[in-house]
Structure 1
Amino acid sequence: MAVTLTEAAAERVNTMLAKRGSGLGLRVATKVSGCAGFAYVVDYADEINDDDQVFESHGVKVVVDSKSLGNIDGMEIDYVRESLLNEGFEFNNPNVKDSCGCGESFTV
């Protein structure tokens, strides 16, 4: 079981953490949302809770709560920058069975 970052995503997280001045890594979770069922929630990991799983990828900690792990186990997070105005994380999740038309939510 693991959630990993590409090298580009790890570099972006390290840049974000350095600008922020604090944080243990990246927290990734899912929440019930949208027309397809679930949406990703990405935030700074400021603490590690008892029900969290911690993975390390390219030197960056990825923190996932145990409830979300079943939805995103095996997922790889990439960081893509297509232009100055179009950049962000892309989620390559092998558990996704379907996603909504707008791309904001998914079904596992």
Structure 2
Amino acid sequence: MAITLTENAAKQIRKQLAKRGKGLALRIGVKKVGCSGFAYTFDYADELRQGDEIFASHDASLVVDAGTLAFLDGSRVDFIREGLNDSFRLDNPNIDHMCGCGESFSLKEPAKV
């Protein structure tokens, strides 16, 4: 199982961690919410927890817990600027449908957690 980072995403992770002054990585999670079932969560990882998987690329790291990895396997994390807005975006091959709001998604088949 793997998750990759683009250079833009890695640069932004390094920038945010440096600005914050601490942290090992960006932590990505999935929670049940929204009209389509799931949404991504983003937080800082100051330490590794039991069951965490770490993915490193371009001198930056992201952390995903074992329960979330099935939802994100094969994903590519990017950092996009559109006009005045910027955000992390995931190109996730496991998504079946993205809600019109762009915040929630459903999966092609239930992830085996």
TM range (shorter): over 0.9
Percentage identity across paired residues of the two chains: 51
**What's the secondary structure of 2:87's corresponding residue?**
strand
Correspondences of 1:19-58 after superposition (within 5 Å): 19-58=19-58
Post-superposition CA distance 1:12-66 (Å, at most 9, x none): 1100000000000110110111111110001111111111111111111210001
- 4+ residue segments displaced more than 4 Å: none
Residue 97, structure 1, aligned to residue 96, structure 2: yes
Q: Are 1:79 and 1:89, in contact at CA under 8 Å, matched by a contact in 2? A: yes
Correspondences of 1:67-106 after superposition (within 5 Å): 67-83=67-83, 85-106=84-105
Residue correspondences, number: 107
For structure 2, the residue ranges without an aligned partner over 5 or more in a row are 108-113
> What letter matches 2:50 in structure 1?
D
- The CA distance in 2 between the partners of 1:23 and 1:36, in whole Å, is 32
Residue 65, structure 1, aligned to residue 65, structure 2: yes
- The CA distance in 1 between the partners of 2:92 and 2:26, in whole Å, is 17
- The CA distance in 1 between the partners of 2:57 and 2:74, in whole Å, is 13
Q: Are 1:4 and 1:62, in contact at CA under 8 Å, matched by a contact in 2? A: no
- The CA distance in 1 between the partners of 2:90 and 2:55, in whole Å, is 16
Q: Please report the TM-score for the alignment, with normalisation by the length of structure 2.
A: 0.91
Cα distance, 1:91 vs. partner? 1.0
Q: Please report the TM-score for the alignment, with normalisation by the length of structure 1.
A: 0.95
